[in-house]
Structure 1
Amino acid sequence: MALSPTLSGGLRAAVAMTVLGCSTGVTALLGSYPLPGGQAVRYTLAAAVLLPLARRTGRLRPRLTGRELGLLLALAATGLFAFNVLMVQALRHTDPAVVGSVIGCTPLLMGVLGPVLAGRRPEARLLAAAAVVVAGAAVVQGFGSGDAVGFLCALGTLVCEAAFSLLAVPLLPRLGAVRVSAYSTALAVPMFALTALVADGSAALRVPTGGELLALLYLGAVLTCGAFLLWYGALGRLGPERAGLFGGLIPVSAALSGALLGSGVLHPGELAGSVLVGAGVCLGLTGRRPAPPTAAHTTTPASRTVEPVR
């Protein structure tokens, strides 16, 4: 029996955000590896998988328009490059709990910006659901201390997290999830490579240890390839405001995986926050689906507990 678009999209979004949250322990293995060089390797591995997938039906079609190329460059620069750079800077200046709490506001931000960019009024039910999810994520993550620089970097990371989805929305109808993932990933490689050369020079790369190699393979193949495809597939089925609700699963899955792996202890507050996140997601998914973007906003259709890096 075929799944409904809501159920299919919900499953994709849930798995994608769970994979992202569970990558917390994996990214910790790269703590001593050069950041720009490691990210360049990670996205190179992902592009080596995604680009052949995009070519499997022949040449890479349809050809990109100037607007699409601009959106893809903006997506790679914000949702991939700036997201990782700002995340590291935020964690150097403030507690991970503060960073996680700020990023936990992603569902609310997407609930407002998603419909506004599509020329619609934000739906009250979805805003209420997003507020419940944000509250639950904040309870799971907790609160910590830090300075103004760390908080500003965390806000920048929040904007980049939303841009990763919102910039992809007008691209998905014509290009599809595979091409958007492949192109944005490939465009991120020179951004990180150039930064690595400028920042670290000859020390930009080194032979990874066994644990670091496994971490790079996980981040490149499982997270960047698998989760990207699942997430963009969910965006096409649910829309940004409803898909954004699943961002609350990031701190939840990070806390649960930490407890299962023995790197953390599950507290009653985390369980209560998980229940709030689940309630908010259910509230948002049971409402009326927002209308799809109008022709003016799309092209013609064709045929983290430490937050993880994306």
Structure 2
Amino acid sequence: MMFDARERSGAALALGAVCLIGGSVAAAGRLHDFPLIGGQAVRYGFATVFLLVWGRIRRHTFIRPSPAQMAWIFLLAATGMAGYGIVLVYATSMTSPGNVGVALGAAPLIIVLVQSLLARARPSRNLIGGALCVACGSAVAQMSTGSTVQWSVQGFMWSCLALTGVCAVTLFGAPATKALGSLTATTYACALASVMLFLTAVIKGSVTGTPVLRRPSGTEFSALAFLALGVTTVVYLLWYGAVERLGAGRTGLFNGLVPLASLLALSVTGTATASLNQIGGAVLVLIGVAFGLRVRKRGAPPPGRPRQSR
């Protein structure tokens, strides 16, 4: 499929976002001992400040959302931001971070399946075949080079919840972005996620006596800074910029590259070493995504094709 200039820029934005998302798996693996909920509240609070400063620099006017638009923002903040941030840290503590990264590669198929259900359209054979390939790839990634299974019910469940959060970013974020623009929607969602997390941390602390926050170590601070600035602020602006240019469906395809990006980030940072099985599983996931989404009816426009520039 040939892209015009607008679509090529959207593809570049999505690719940049995917590389940073891959790094988030490695960063989350360094926060297992840090107060989780309070740390995530600080992450999204700093991200809100960064976004407000960026909006001021660009002289951006933040549109006041309608009740319906605010509902989408609330769902995005609760599931794709606050919920995902907590779940990702738990998932990487329950199973190998590489396994979590591979599981996230199923997001494009989930997004398309949900869209098919909402449109009351029957999924294609290619989509079903691609889903089976993705499932096989995820299973292969769970095995170590010693042919022992690195699998647990808890790890699988938390990885699935992390996958749900990734899907929510596109499914809930697209309507808000279309109505308000990427900067406005992201800023409101980050602010709301920070408030949700801070209140939750305070309530949990009052009940259990656990600290809301503590002074982070150097490694923990660098991980939080990367998550706040790189993965939250920059990724959401890049991702929703891509959604505006490509539409939610085609932008979601780039989630298929998350397994490879996360395994590369884990290897570069020394957080973990990617095994041959994990690499093979990631490739199978990528093949499954490509196979499941490669065919459309001739003459039909791609889903979510963006409108012409105004």
TM > 0.5: yes
Q: Give, in whole Å, the separation in 1 of the partners of 2:6 and 2:119.
A: 20
CA gap of 1:7–1:138, structure 2 versus 1, over 3 A, is: farther
Question: Pick from 180, 187, 190: which aligns with 2:192?
Answer: 187
Residue 112 of structure 1: how far off its partner (Å): 1.1
> 3-state SS of the aligned residue for 1:181?
helix
Alignment match, 2:17: 16
Please say which of residues 96-105 and 223-232 is displaced more in the overlay.
96-105
Question: Pick from 302, 305, 308: which aligns with 1:290?
Answer: 302
Please say which of residues 240-249 and 69-78 is displaced more in the overlay.
240-249
Q: Deviations over 1:4-58 (max 9, x none)?
A: 3443222222221221112333223322211111111111110001123345435
Residue 286 of structure 1: how far off its partner (Å): 6.6
Q: Give, in whole Å, the separation in 2 of the partners of 1:120 and 1:236.
A: 24
Alignment match, 1:70: 71
Alignment match, 2:59: 57
Q: Deviations over 1:133-163 (max 9, x none)?
A: 665565456563213x554444333323211
User: 1:116-265 to 2 correspondence within 5 Å?
Assistant: 116-117=117-118, 136=137, 139-140=140-141, 142=143, 144-147=150-153, 149-201=154-206, 203-265=211-273
Q: Give, in whole Å, the separation in 2 of the partners of 1:9 and 1:133.
A: 25
> 3-state SS of the aligned residue for 1:144?
coil
CA contact (8 A) 1:98 1:145 kept: no
> 3-state SS of the aligned residue for 2:181?
helix
Identity of aligned residues (%): 34
Residue 128 of structure 1: how far off its partner (Å): 5.6
CA RMSD across the alignment = 3.5
CA contact (8 A) 1:235 1:243 kept: yes
User: 1:109-120 to 2 correspondence within 5 Å?
Assistant: 109-117=110-118
CA contact (8 A) 1:177 1:232 kept: yes
CA gap of 1:281–1:13, structure 2 versus 1, over 3 A, is: farther
CA contact (8 A) 2:142 2:151 kept: no
Number of residue pairs matched? Answer: 295
Runs of 5+ consecutive residues of structure 2 not aligned to the other structure: 144-148
CA gap of 1:211–1:118, structure 2 versus 1, over 3 A, is: same
Residue 302 of structure 1: how far off its partner (Å): 11
TM-score, reference length from structure 2: 0.78
Q: Give, in whole Å, the separation in 2 of the partners of 1:130 and 1:14.
A: 22
Please say which of residues 89-98 and 258-267 is displaced more in the overlay.
89-98
CA contact (8 A) 2:137 2:280 kept: yes
Amino acid at match of 1:60: F
Amino acid at match of 1:260: V
CA gap of 1:210–1:150, structure 2 versus 1, over 3 A, is: closer
Amino acid at match of 1:224: T
CA gap of 1:262–1:41, structure 2 versus 1, over 3 A, is: closer
Residue 238 of structure 1: how far off its partner (Å): 2.8
Q: Give, in whole Å, the separation in 2 of the partners of 1:229 and 1:273.
A: 29
Alignment match, 2:84: 83
Alignment match, 2:108: 107
Alignment match, 1:28: 29
Query: Quick check: 1:7 aligned with 2:8?
Result: yes
TM-score, reference length from structure 1: 0.78
> 3-state SS of the aligned residue for 1:168?
helix
Alignment match, 2:146: none
CA contact (8 A) 1:51 1:179 kept: no
Amino acid at match of 1:74: L
CA gap of 1:11–1:210, structure 2 versus 1, over 3 A, is: same
